[in-house]
Amino acid sequence: MDMIWTYYGIDWLAMVMTFLSLYFLGEKKRSGFVYGKLANLSWLAFGVMAQSVANPVANVVFMTLNIRGYRSWKQMKRK
């Protein structure tokens, strides 16, 4: 049971935020990008705690893409 909370639930939070992000984007809701950013922050924290190098680097890129997607979505609505 201790293994479940090794990373203080941050990995579980990241997982849930990722699922919500994918769900809302699949429903064509812009809020999916917000959940994606929260997931990226959670995965980034998890990667640091797990002493991974690739995880934080990847999540900085994913965060950038989520921000870009959020901004692009707003611009598409204006047209």
Q: What is the pLDDT of residue 79?
A: 58
**Nearest-CA neighbor of 49 among 10, 16, 19?**
10
Q: What is the pLDDT of residues 29-63, one digit of tens each?
A: 999 999 999 999 999 999 999 999 999 999 999 99
What backbone phi and psi angles, to 5 degrees, belong to 18?
-65, -45
- Please state the domain extents for the chain: 2-78
Q: Give SS3 for 51.
A: coil
